[in-house]
């Protein structure tokens, strides 16, 4: 079984929304996330582990209400699991280092991947270039 690394002090310092999203698998309200309209260049890292997850250069406006990316910065930094909650079948995206919930990936994105990683802002921190 895979071992995950979470610093208890970091988890304790999360805002209620960050905790709800990353630790309980919740979804922030569409259109409310701090990174939705952010065009600043950099790398989005996991709010708990600091693991690099998504590059701003792969971010696009999908119109879905959450930050969207065409691909992870490093494939091995995210895990994907089948999610059958809420009466639908989706693919959940998790941080491979701390197992924190990030969002979901869908097969309706632009090229070159055709994927849309729909990620909660509450799970991310931007490290500007």
Rounded to two decimals, the pTM is 0.94
CATH class for the domain made up of 8-128: mainly beta
Reported as a single tens digit per residue, the pLDDT across 1-31 is 667 778 999 999 999 999 999 999 999 999 9
Residue from 64, 95, 98, 118 carrying the catalytic annotation: 118
Looking at residue 5, its pLDDT comes to: 78
Torsion of CA 97, 100, 102, 108, to 10 degrees: 70
Looking at residue 1, its pLDDT comes to: 61
CA distance 28 to 91: 17
Indicate the helix (H) or strand (E) that contains 128.
strand 124-128
How many other C-beta atoms can be found within 10 angstroms of the C-beta atom of residue 72?
24
* In the predicted structure, residue 110 carries a pLDDT above the cut 80: yes
Identify whether 98 is a catalytic site residue.
no
Reported as a single tens digit per residue, the pLDDT across 34-88 is 999 999 999 999 999 999 999 999 999 999 999 999 999 999 999 999 988 878 8
CA distance 109 to 2: 30
């Amino acid at each position: 079984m895979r071992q995950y690394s979470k610093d208890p002090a970091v988890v304790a310092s999360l805002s209620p929304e960050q905790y709800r999203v990353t630790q309980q698998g919740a979804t922030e309200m569409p259109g409310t996330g701090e990174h939705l309209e952010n065009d600043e260049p950099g790398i989005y890292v996991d709010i708990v582990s600091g693991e690099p997850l998504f590059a701003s250069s792969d971010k696009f406006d999908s119109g879905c209400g959450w930050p969207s990316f065409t691909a992870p910065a490093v494939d091995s930094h995210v895990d994907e699991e089948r999610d059958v909650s809420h009466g639908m079948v989706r693919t959940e995206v998790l941080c491979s280092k701390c197992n924190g919930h990030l969002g979901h990936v869908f097969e309706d994105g632009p090229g070159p991947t055709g994927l849309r990683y729909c990620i909660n802002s509450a799970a991310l921190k931007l490290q500007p270039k």
